Amino acid sequence: MERQTTILQALVEGNSMRATARMGDVSFNTVVKLLLDAGTACAAYQDETLRNLSCKRLQCDEIWSFCYAKEKNVPKDKLGKWGYGDVWTWTAICADTKLVPSWLVAPRNLTAAQAFMGDLASRLKYRPQITTDGFRVYIEAVEGAFGSEVDYSMLVKIYGNDPKPEQTRYSPAVCLAVQGTRIQGNPDPWHVSTSFAERQNLTMRMSMRRFTRLTNAFSKKVQNLEAAVALHFMYYNFVRIHKSLRVTPAMAAGVTNKLWELEDVLDLVAQKIFRSN
């Protein structure tokens, strides 16, 4: 149990799998197996538990990563196959409790948007206000999932090039303007924002090594990426205390009344393995 806890702690704090294997004095395959078991158990538990939520203000976004190789380097025999090249993680975060009730590892297209919004709608108790970026597929996806029972806005950011050419390769573009557009319902303009969703993207990049840019710690298999994302959100929602809330997001949202430990997550893994056997 102590060694398993050490491995999970290293993974959720942004270490690579090989570094984790060295730190825990275990084989690389041991780390992979524990990650897959923990990811499966965490995904199943959160899918069952994060229901009938009182979240009213949600922000949605997508974060890019890649598996096996970057899109331009994918071999011809694997081009167009899922799990090779660009992979996107769709996330929704509650602006009040900072809970992440829904996420999806999928391509960046209308089908994925519809599946993501459908899952999000199934978890909410009340009519929500939703803000997304300007990705157009959200319009059809939100309408299909929520119908008329949503207050929905898009926040479009307009970017320009950095005036210093020598820094353009690694520096982000400069945000020149922000434009909020009401799409449906009566959203409160004061709460039309994607700031929390974008900050969650940063948390993911800091907490999962495979999301770090310009590195060789990317996911080689999409199943490993899905497991890492599920483990990350279990730790984020239930274990790690949010600095501004002073409790975990799950506690703030009323999903649980206790502060989880990684040992509790390992108990979920043990229960999952016991039931499967």
Average pLDDT over residues 16-28: 93
Counted domains in the chain: 1
Average pLDDT, the chain: 91
pLDDT at 167 over 70: no
Structural contact between residues 265 and 8, judged by C-beta atoms closer than 8 angstroms:
yes
**Please, which pLDDT band fits residue 146 given cuts at 50, 70 and 90?**
very high
**Please, which pLDDT band fits residue 164 given cuts at 50, 70 and 90?**
low
β-pair type (85-94, 57-67): antiparallel
Average pLDDT over residues 51-76: 94
The pLDDT of residue 177 is: 72
What residues make up the domain containing 188? Answer: 2-276
**Please, which pLDDT band fits residue 246 given cuts at 50, 70 and 90?**
very high
Nearest of 193, 53, 71 to residue 123 by alpha carbon: 53
Q: Which residues pair with 3 in a beta bridge?
A: none
In SS3 terms, 133-163 reads as CCCCHHHHHHHHHHCCCCEEEEEEEEEECCC
The pLDDT of residue 8 is: 95
Cα separation, 268 vs 24, in Å, equals: 21
Average pLDDT over residues 64-71: 93
pLDDT at 171 over 70: no
pLDDT at 276 over 90: no
**Please, which pLDDT band fits residue 272 given cuts at 50, 70 and 90?**
confident
Average pLDDT over residues 192-217: 91
The pLDDT of residue 130 is: 97
Tell me the three state secondary structure of residue 106. Answer: strand
**Please, which pLDDT band fits residue 85 given cuts at 50, 70 and 90?**
very high
**Please, which pLDDT band fits residue 273 given cuts at 50, 70 and 90?**
confident
